[in-house]
Chains A and B, each alone.
Chain A
Amino acid sequence: MEIDYSVEKPVIEKSPTVISINDAIMRPTAIKADKFFYISLSVALLALTVGAVSLFYTFWYGIGMWGNNRPVGWAFGIVNFVFWVGIGHAGTLISAILFLLRQKWRTGIARFAEGMTIFAVMTAGIFPLIHVGRPWLAGYLFPYPNQHNLWVNFTSPLLWDVFAVSTYFTVSLIFWYIGLIPDLAVLRDKTINKIKKVIYAIFSLGWRHSNRHWNHYEMVYLVLAGFATPLVLSVHTIVSFDFAVSILPGWHTTIFPPYFVAGAVFSGFAMVQNVLIFIRKVFHYEHIITIDTLEKMNKIMILTGSMVGYAYGMEFFIAWYSGSPIETFTFINRAFGDYAWAYWIMISCNVVFPQLFWIKKFRRTIPIMFVIGVFVNVGMWFERFVIVVTSLSRDFLPSSWHYYKPTLTDMGLLIGSFGLFFTLTILFTKSLPVVSIAEVKAVVKGSQPSHNGGH
């Protein structure tokens, strides 16, 4: 199939009418849940229960239930945190950055991706809270006047995390909600269920599709996108600072900020792509979330995967170039030491397999791209594992060296995090429109006045 570069391919295929978009997107929220819904929700809830049980053990017996030891004081807790925050970044990138770059193909996937961001950040936020010994004292993380006359340590990256992740969650929630307002108004007007109508009416705040309002709305959307872009970059940068400000070899390297951001986008897109493959099938949105869209997402995965590969190479080169035997040892240890198995999973999943996306056929074939997406997520989880655990298990003093093994509780929490994320996602698909009705309508053929270079 030859591409004709002289015409702009419509983003929404099969030229649906505006009203059919309305109906198609509203439908899942209006009909009764089917078997597939209940089965997938049960699986997710099961995973969530495993997590809840693990969490109970963690709170009741303390962090000793985890595999953390000296010197590996940070393990699954922080790896899971970074993993989930990273996944959240794809949503904001799709919503905000692709909006600023005027990429119309984002319209079919932006709403869902933003929702995934919020759920991913919620899942991520649990880990810093529970990995401290006394989570009930978490309130001290916020700077309020207290009897000890103490303030929080504003120079600590752990505190920067608190501000960054809570700001990110708040702004993503606001961005998602603002995008939802027009759609909630549509649902309010179209639903026949009286209770739902009241709920939609409350949350749509009385939106009445006024173009005077759209004028302000578009400006605020642009402003939010303009803020969300540096915000999302700053959040994972600050997460990378958790490691990079230290002096631990393998952690203290200046390339961490852009490397982590690229990695976050990489894993986030893989997760979004994976889930969207299901969504488009289940809800019959193949003409909205098209193969072209998925292909573009896979291209972004090659791009960010290559950036991650570049960072691996640069780190390795400079570790040798620096002449520091400790740095050189750290990197050789990663590849050939106790955790070599984790390192090679990481390299194959992050650098080798995604290269298959150079082949156009693979980019456009659903089963293949799904499998590569899963590999990318596995690889990115292992990347954080390799960074955190190998560097800690071989720190400065050989007498401190120790091997880390995760416990069942650690595994349970990891499973539980997936459970929470997917439970929230599945519930989201049933209660709110997973595709932005207003945005998709705006790019459907014939929806815009023709003298403006119609679509």
Chain B
Amino acid sequence: MEEKIIYGVTALFDSPNNLVKAVKSVNEAGYRKYDVHTSYPIHGMPKAMKLKPSKLAYFALAFGLTGTTLAFLFITWTMSIDYKLVIGGKPFFALPAFIPVIFEVTVLLASIGTVLTMLFYFFKFPNNKHPLHDTEYMQKVSGDGFGICIEAKDNNFDEEKIKSFLSNIGGLNVTSIFYDSVELNHKNKVFEPKFIGFLILVFILISGATYFSLNKLIYMPPFTWMHDQNRLDAQESSVMFGDGFGMRPPVDGTVARNQMPYPYSGHPELALNLVNPSAPTKENYELGKKKFDIYCSPCHGYFGKGDGRLNNQFITPPSLQSEKIRNWKDGQIFHVITEGQNSMPSYAKQILPEERWAIVDYVRVIQRAMNAKEEDIK
């Protein structure tokens, strides 16, 4: 059997008063590497042990401020920069509405951070391999015992001397605690293989579950029931109609919104009844010119002379400057644009009614321009 390596010497005390007195004596005797064990905190013990106040409050502050900053930056980026949406008429940077989440993240990060720091950094937990575990000393302390343990690491450690010292200051059950072989080889690393393995397992499980649920599961019934409904979607076929088409043409007599059906379709003689509603404003003439140049000039030419760009390749239309056309009523010109005439197709689907009247006005302009009289120049 190998020689047992000593961890420290422990002693129990029977009352909190005696414990505090004993701790003061231990301090005065010059021991530094010692610990006091009680199953509940004793008032005045940190002072007796000359412990400095815990620095964890600063960690809490640091974690908290980190949380505030991260949350603020993230929310500002997502809401005010990356994907700006007007929500409730509020500005993109709606700070009052950001505050609640920023506050919650602050508290969350501060709490988790502080606790994890305390457990893993300050306490170096989990640690079930400490030599004091499973000793009679710890048994008593867990009940109603108050104990002091002076560790072998202390500079002034001398097993026999300490044993007598502790007995002298009122210690009972003065015992030496030794390391077990398991405990001795226990090095307190944070990233032990088991822990890393655990982390990897958690990572795989969570990623796998997320991948499965968001890429596979939500496309499987019954989760598709809201998605795959019995309604008719655009361009779907349908068994209800003989031709199998889901999309049907509009019923006869359907008119588009804001559309007035043309009343004189097929009756150019009645087009004389049409009254030109457009006002002789500059905007109107500019509109007319623009539309004429776009739609009419390819065949009719820019001045209506019939010398358009499609000359000799397509039909050459009669000149709009002719007596006949100059004597036409506005309504008749409107009718021709709307219905077409001979080789000219209908332009009703391309030019809105008010635009057609503007073209009519413009035609009158170029007619007057090409047949100007003396009075026009004055």
Q: Do A and B interact directly, with beta carbons closer than 8 Å?
A: yes
Query: In this complex, what residue of B is CB-closest to A60?
Result: B222
- B104 and A164 within 8 A (CB): yes
Is the CB–CB distance between B40 and A442 below 8 Å? Answer: yes
Asked whether A211 lies within 8 Å of B49 as measured between CB atoms, the reply is yes
Partner of B110, one of A227, A238, A438: A227
Q: In the complex where A206-B125, A241-B100 touch, is A150 in contact with B45 (Cβ < 8 A)?
A: no
Most buried by A among B38, B129, B132: B38
Name the segment of A47-55, A215-223, A382-390, A420-428 touching the other chain.
Answer: A215-223
Does A405 reach chain B (CB closer than 8 Å)? no
Per a CB cutoff under 8 Å, which of B51, B110, B111, B114 touches A215? B51
B279 beta carbon closer than 8 Å to chain A:
no
Most buried by A among B44, B56, B88: B56
Contact B39 A186 (CB under 8 A): yes
Assess the B111–A449 pair: CB atoms within 8 A.
Answer: no
A188 to B56, CA, bound (A): 27
Contact pattern, A 149-171, Cβ under 8 Å of B = 1, otherwise 0: 11111111101100110010011
Interface positions of B from 225 to 261, Cβ below 8 Å from A = 226
Interface residues of B in 37-94 (CB under 8 A from A): 37-46, 49, 51, 53-54, 56-57, 60, 64, 74-75, 78-79, 82-83, 85, 87-88, 90, 94
Contact with B along A424-446 (1 / 0, CB 8 A): 00000000000001110110001
Contact of B43 among A186, A202, A448 (CB under 8 A): A448
Check B210 for interface membership: any CB of A closer than 8 A. Answer: yes
| CB-defined contacts of A228 to chain B, threshold 8 Å | 111
The smallest C-beta distance from B354 to any residue of chain A, in angstroms, reads 38
Interface check A230, CB cutoff 8 A? yes
Which one of A201, A231, A241, A439 contacts B40 once the chains associate, using CB atoms below 8 Å?
A: A439
Contacts of B78 in A (CB 8 A): 143, 151-152, 154
Using a CB-CB cutoff of 8 Å, which residues 360-408 of chain A contact chain B? none
Indicate if A19 sits at the interface (CB-CB under 8 A): yes
Q: Find out whether the CB atom of B144 lies under 8 angstroms from the CB atom of A155.
A: no
Cross-chain contact of A209 among B75, B97, B125, B138 (Cβ < 8 A): B138
**B208 an interface residue at 8 Å Cβ cutoff?**
no
Chain A-chain B contacts (Cβ-Cβ < 8 Å), number: 219
A residues near B351, Cβ cutoff 8 Å: none
Residues of A within 8 A of B45 (CB): 211, 214-215
Give bound CA distance, A143 to B35, whole Å: 46
Residue from A17, A149, A155, A438 within 8 A of B90 (CB atoms): A155
B52 to chain A, nearest CB (A): 9
Known: A215-B45, A439-B40, A448-B43. 7 other contacts (CB 8 A): A136-B217, A154-B78, A167-B104, A170-B108, A174-B112, A208-B130, A218-B54
Q: Which residues of B contact A (CB under 8 A)?
A: 15-17, 19-20, 35-46, 49, 51, 53-54, 56-57, 60, 64, 74-75, 78-79, 82-83, 85, 87-88, 90, 94, 97-98, 100-101, 103-105, 107-108, 110-112, 114-115, 118-119, 122-123, 125-130, 132-133, 138-139, 141-144, 210, 213-214, 217-218, 222-223, 226
Nearest 6 interchain pairs by C-beta: A155-B97, A219-B54, A18-B144, A189-B142, A206-B127, A211-B36
Between-chain CB contacts (< 8 Å), 22 pairs:
A134-B223, A136-B223, A149-B83, A154-B79, A155-B90, A157-B100, A160-B104, A167-B104, A170-B111, A201-B128, A206-B128, A208-B37, A208-B133, A209-B37, A211-B35, A211-B42, A220-B60, A220-B118, A230-B107, A234-B104, A438-B41, A446-B16
Which residues from chain A sit less than 8 Å from chain B, CB to CB? Answer: 17-19, 22, 60, 133-134, 136-137, 139, 143, 149-157, 159-160, 163-164, 167, 170-171, 174-175, 178, 182, 185-186, 188-190, 201-202, 205-220, 222-224, 227-228, 230-231, 234, 238, 241, 437-439, 441-442, 446-452
